[in-house]
Each structure stands twice: as C-alpha cells, then as structure tokens.
C-alpha cells in the first residue's frame, strides 16, 4: 500500500470522505429553500461555481447535494493517490419542521442539525439550518458571532459546514477516532476537520471556481462557530483557533498540513 498522504508525524489523516453518496428518506421542502444560485446575501459576494454554467443548484437541498458531491470528488482523488479504497458516505437533508433519527444517541435531529454520525456513516444537515446560514439569519446566535466574532452568511459559509462534516467521515474511514479518540479531546478532531475543509476549499480556488467574497464567508463562519468553554468535553475550539485551522488547510492546499492537529 502506498504511504498515506495525510500523515504528519505520529498523526494520521482524520478526514471525512464520501464517494457514493445518496439522499436519505427526507424530501426537500422548496417553499423554505433559498436558492443558492440567486444573488448572494453577502453584500456583493458571489457564489461558488458548481457544475456547468447555467446548471447551478436552485434549492438549498440541491446545493447541499452538489457541495457534498464536490467534496466527495476531492477526497476520492486524495484516497486514490494514497492507494486507498474509494471512500463512501450517506447523507440526509432534513426538511424544515421535521426530524431525523440517528444511532448516535442524538434524539430527533431537527432544524439546527449539522452532524456526522459514525454509527450509521451519515451526514445530517437541516435544510433550515443551511438556509439560515446562507441568509445570515443566525448572525449573533452562534457562540462566536454572539461575542462579535465573524458571522454566517453566503453560499460558501454553507459549503464550509458541509466540508467540515464530510471531514469527520474521512476521520472515521481512516480509523482515527479509534486510534486517537481516547488520547485527544474533541477539539483536536474538530480543528482537523476545519483544516480539511480548508484544503478542499483551496482545490476549488485552484480550479478558478471561487468568486469574490467566498473565502471571507468561510473564515467568518469558522469564527462564528467557535466557542469559549475549554472545560467542556465538547469544546470545538475558540473562534481564532477555528479560523486558523481552516486557513492552515487553505493556505497549504494539502491534507498533509492537518496531521498536526492529532499529535498528542
């Protein structure tokens, strides 16, 4: 087997991958979906280019699916270059007002859901949550943004969320939770997932598919979701740490740069 590219020092890649993606049982409710192909709410920022020109997603469900498939193509290529089997994951988009059950002990994932469940290998994202991120409706409601850090607005803020959850699946696929889960806190895995999200984002920039404002949307979102409770076992990292982790991945353009987050 070829050397895994995502290993740095003693830390192996902990990333989410999905090559065969399929929609769960939930169906989209287009009445509540803000078309990502419309003018961005980000004050002049444009949109991530997905698919062929003129064939852009028109609903939040379509956008979530298109971004997931785009992230999947990136990680499939990374796995192939490392001599690994094609990664696979399931995803389920939850319509507004509805819930989804997972085997991870989270009862009734609903309108604020954005999570990856290793037990059923599924990414769950609420369509309302994604829409609220896109429109800026959650500005000031998340731990970081409530304290003046960043904000959530625009299509690439939503793409950041998708790429982050996908990164958790890569971590599961490579056995990193089993290898490091008892040694390292949650924060390390969350920051590595942010770093992997940044590495994917750089691939879209290299392809010329980012538009003005997209990178700032992701950075602002990373700041907005940071929290300030390091004593909490579920602490994900401060706003500054999360922004820096995404930037590490984006500036390097390689998952190799993300291995340091799993070093003891």
Please write the tens of the pLDDT for every residue from 231-256: 999 999 999 999 999 999 999 999 99
Three-state secondary-structure class, residue 109: strand
Residues 76-101 have a mean pLDDT of 93
pLDDT tens sequence across 93-134? 999 999 888 888 766 788 889 999 999 999 999 999 999 999
**Residue whose structure tokens are 């982790």:** 245
DSSP tally for the chain: helices H, then strands E: 7, 3
pLDDT at site 111: 85
pLDDT at site 56: 79
Instruction: Using a pLDDT cut of 70, give the percent of the chain over it.
Output: 78
Write down the domain spans for the chain.
30-262
Q: 0.85 cut: is pTM over it? A: no
pLDDT at site 50: 72
Instruction: Using a pLDDT cut of 90, give the percent of the chain over it.
Output: 70
Residue partners of 207: CB distance under 8 A and separation at least 6 = none
Please provide the average confidence, as pLDDT, over all residues in the chain: 82
Dihedral, 51, 20, 181, 125 alpha carbons, nearest 10 = 60
Three-state secondary-structure class, residue 206: helix
The rounded distance, in Å, linking the Cα atoms of 21 and 25 is: 13
pLDDT at site 47: 58
The angle formed by the CA atoms of residues 186, 143 and 249, to the nearest 5 degrees, is 55
β-bridge pairing 122-126 and 114-117: antiparallel
Question: Which residue did the predictor score with more confidence, 221 or 47?
Answer: 221
Instruction: State yes or no: pLDDT of 46 exceeds 50.
Output: no
Question: Which residue did the predictor score with more confidence, 71 or 103?
Answer: 71
Structure tokens of 99?
């819930």
pLDDT at site 109: 85
The rounded distance, in Å, linking the Cα atoms of 136 and 185 is: 30
pLDDT at site 126: 96
pLDDT at site 31: 27
Residue 34 — pLDDT band, cuts 50, 70, 90?
very low
């Amino acid at each position: 087997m070829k050397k895994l590219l995502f290993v740095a020092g003693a830390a192996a890649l902990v990333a989410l991958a999905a090559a065969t993606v399929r929609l769960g049982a939930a169906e989209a409710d287009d009445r509540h979906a803000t078309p990502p192909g419309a003018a961005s709410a980000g004050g002049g920022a444009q949109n991530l280019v997905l698919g062929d020109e003129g064939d852009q997603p028109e609903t939040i469900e379509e956008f979530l699916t298109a971004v997931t498939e785009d992230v999947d193509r990136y990680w499939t290529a990374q796995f192939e270059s490392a001599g690994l089997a094609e990664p696979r994951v399931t995803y389920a988009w939850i319509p507004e007002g509805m819930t989804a059950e997972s085997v991870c002990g989270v009862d009734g994932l609903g309108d604020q859901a954005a999570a990856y469940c290793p037990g059923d290998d599924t990414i769950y994202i609420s369509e309302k949550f994604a829409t609220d991120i896109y429109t800026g409706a959650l500005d000031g409601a998340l731990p970081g943004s409530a304290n003046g850090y960043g904000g959530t607005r625009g299509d690439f803020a939503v793409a950041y969320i998708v790429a982050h959850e996908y990164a958790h699946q890569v971590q599961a696929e490579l056995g990193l939770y089993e290898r490091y889960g008892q040694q390292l806190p949650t924060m390390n895995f969350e920051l590595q997932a942010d770093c992997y999200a940044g590495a994917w984002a750089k691939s879209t920039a290299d392809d010329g598919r980012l538009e003005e404002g997209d990178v700032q949307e992701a950075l602002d979102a990373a700041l907005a979701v940071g929290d300030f409770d390091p004593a909490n076992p579920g602490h994900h990292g401060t706003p500054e740490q999360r922004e820096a982790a995404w930037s590490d991945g984006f500036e390097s353009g390689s998952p190799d740069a993300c291995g340091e987050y799993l070093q003891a």
